[in-house]
Amino acid sequence: MSHNSFGHLFRFTTWGESHGIALGCVVDGCPPNLSISEAEVQEFLDKRKPGQSKYTTQRREADEVKILSGVMPQEDGTWLTTGTPISMMIENTDQRSKDYSDIAKRYRPGHADFAYDAKYGIRDYRGGGRSSARETAARVAAGAIARKVISGVAVRAALVQMGPHKVDRSRWDWDEVNNNPFFCPDPVAAKEWATELDRIRKAGSSIGAVIEVVAEGVSAGWGAPVYAKLDQDIASAFMSINAVKGVEIGNGFEAAEITGEENADEIRMGADGNPEFLSNKSGGVLGGISSGQPVVARFAVKPTSSILTPRQSITSDGEEVDVMTKGRHDPCVGIRAVPIGEAMMACVLADHYLRHRGQVG
């Protein structure tokens, strides 16, 4: 299985499966002399880890990260990156392979089972193996390192839609995001979602969601005009996250519905002598290059395919069966996708920052 690496100058490779001994990543290209600690990486992993509330999978994983290489302890007890590969490992501690034995041969509709068998002829069915979103823990760890590379950039994300229910943007409050189990910026919507998701969870069903990721402090000039557009790489990074079926940059699909006049991000000279954009429909990217405005992108995740209602499928032997998934699952994978989206945005920006510096100094 190849293609397990991301990025050019800030590059990471992830390894591991859902029910293996451990999973992790190797981050290569991180500049030296950046201060880093396991606790700082852990903070982001804790946001993603399962079992945080009744609204996420009840798999219990501590998701404790160990940094194995690429750092040097200092006299004051802190660690500095050395410029060598940073290897990080997270042990899998709550694997229950027996939960999955009855789907060893059955293809879960909407999951990767059929496609993996068609491609490789062998599949680790325990928890979905490599197709499990356990892999995203490694990306979140890499994202924590990426944030160090672009320390002047603040990357934040929020759940802005659960099923058909959208947040009211007039109530958007970033401080609310960590106050509810959904990373929702609208306290009223968060309450409504709680009732809705309880109903869905109890019915053994699932629901999709939309996540918005915002990066502030990105200087103008990151990205490249043709095959390494910043928005192109963000879209690719988001699409690489499990269950993602759509990506928007800036106003995204809304741009197709409005006129050129409405879509223009007009420019004036600001009081500080710098250009000032009067709107940000472009999502902070023009011609594949950052404009200096906040970089704004969204991604849509589908409803979890593991559901209790039987769905028609086949086995690897060609027998027609009904499949129902009894293992633990997230009723709305969008919740835990919030820190994953932040991590991927941070990795894309760190990579582009280093590439920009490499070309233009």
Ligand X SMILES: Cc1cc2nc3c(=O)[nH]c(=O)nc-3n(C[C@H](O)[C@H](O)[C@H](O)COP(=O)(O)O)c2cc1C
R_g (Cα) of the chain, nearest Å: 21
Q: Which two three-digit tokens encode residue 249?
A: 């940059």
- The region of 12-20, 262-270, 285-293, 329-337 touching ligand X under the rule CB under 6 A is 329-337
Contact residues for 254 (Cβ-Cβ < 8 A; gap 6+): none
Contact residues for 195 (Cβ-Cβ < 8 A; gap 6+): none
112 forms part of the interface with ligand X (CB under 6 A): yes
Residues in contact with ligand X, shown as a per-residue x/- string from 60 to 99 under the rule CB under 6 A: ----------------------------------------
Q: Which two three-digit tokens encode residue 54?
A: 């009744």
106 forms part of the interface with ligand X (CB under 6 A): no
- The region of 65-73, 80-88, 240-248, 312-320 touching ligand X under the rule CB under 6 A is 240-248
Number of residues that bind ligand X (CB under 6 A): 21
237 forms part of the interface with ligand X (CB under 6 A): no
34 forms part of the interface with ligand X (CB under 6 A): no
The footprint of ligand X on residues 291-310 (CB under 6 A) is 302, 304-306
> Binder to ligand X among 139, 329, 352, 355 (CB under 6 A)?
329
131 forms part of the interface with ligand X (CB under 6 A): yes
Residues 229 and 41: their CA atoms lie apart, in Å, by 28
| 8 Å CB contact between 189 and 165 | yes
Percent of the chain as helix, strand, coil, to the nearest 5: 35, 25, 45
Residues 122 and 129: their CA atoms lie apart, in Å, by 11
333 forms part of the interface with ligand X (CB under 6 A): yes
Binding site for ligand X (CB under 6 A): 57, 111-112, 128, 131-133, 136, 241-243, 302, 304-306, 329-330, 333, 336-337, 340
